[in-house]
Every structure is written in structure tokens, then in C-alpha cells.
Amino acid sequence: MDRGSLVEPVNALLAAFTSSSPPSSIISTFTTDPKPLIHEHGLPQLAPFLGRTFSGVEGISEYFEILSRILNINSMVFEPNPEWLVDITNMCVTLRGAAIFEWKDTKNSWGETFIYRIALATDRSDDRLKSGRILVSEYRIWADTGAAYLARLGQLNRLDRLN
């Protein structure tokens, strides 16, 4: 295992995000065996995608469906991959990104920087296209949960007027 073999599947995931690919393209970058997992840290009371573990293909499909239903995501960029923390021993990559998010119902938007920790695994599924490939097995996100909550309530843009 080397840095390049771990960076490649992460690049595929990020390319799917930044090109506004459909959820099926994003999901294809994940393992099926081992069962994939997504967890966006935060209190579940703040937003329906926070503080829950979405597991398996059905779970990660649900996560991306929730996101696409309630958020618009624009101008997503990531730090250059030489700056990523690549842990070859534990097969994981940690990196920062930034984007502009908009809560669709309230039209409140905010820019934020977020952290991804992406664990990788060799897929052991029966799917000939995936079997034996290194794919994303865990996708963990740390982001600005307070901004998401205020945008959900329609109060985020109100804060801008108070300053």
C-alpha cells in the first residue's frame, strides 16, 4: 500500500462531489463489503443528516438523498492533495474542503470550511467491477452545524444584518 493507491479513490469521490454527479455516481465510489458508513458529526436535532450513522448502500443512499433534498452545494473546493494527511497503516485520508451551502426551504446560505476523514478498504463484494478495488468504506464529516441549524430556521441571514 502506498500514498497513491489511497489518494486515487479519494480523488474519485471528490471529483463526483465537485462535478455535481448524481448520487449513484457518488455511491459507486464506496465499498459494498465491508459495509460502508457515513457519519456527519453534530446533534441530530440540528439537521436530519447530523449525528446519525448511515450504513450500508441503503444508508449512504439515504444520506445523499437527504442532502440533495434540503441543500444546494456550490463552489466546492478541496485543499491540494500534497496537504492531505494520508495514513497508510490505517488506510485513511484526512483533508479540508470549503463550499457555499444553501438551505433550500429558507434560501439562507453560508460559506464554510469542513473536514473529511475518509477510511478506505479493499472491496470484497461479488460485483466484478468493484471486487478487489480500494474504495471508500467510511466517510466522516465535521462541519459548521450551527450555521446549518440557523439556515434551517431561516435565521442565518438575519445574523448578517445584526453586525
Domain count, the chain: 1
Q: What CATH number has the domain bearing residue 59?
A: 3.10.450.50
Q: Which phi and psi angles does 95 have, rounded to 5°?
A: -150, 165
Q: What does the buried/exposed string (b/e) look like for 25-36 if buried means 16 or more CB atoms within 10 Å of the residue's CB?
A: ebbbbbbbeeeb
pLDDT of 159 higher than 70: no
pTM of the model: 0.91
Q: Which domain holds residue 11?
A: 3-162
pLDDT of 72 higher than 90: yes
Residues 84-115: pLDDT tens digits?
Answer: 999 999 999 999 999 999 999 999 999 999 99
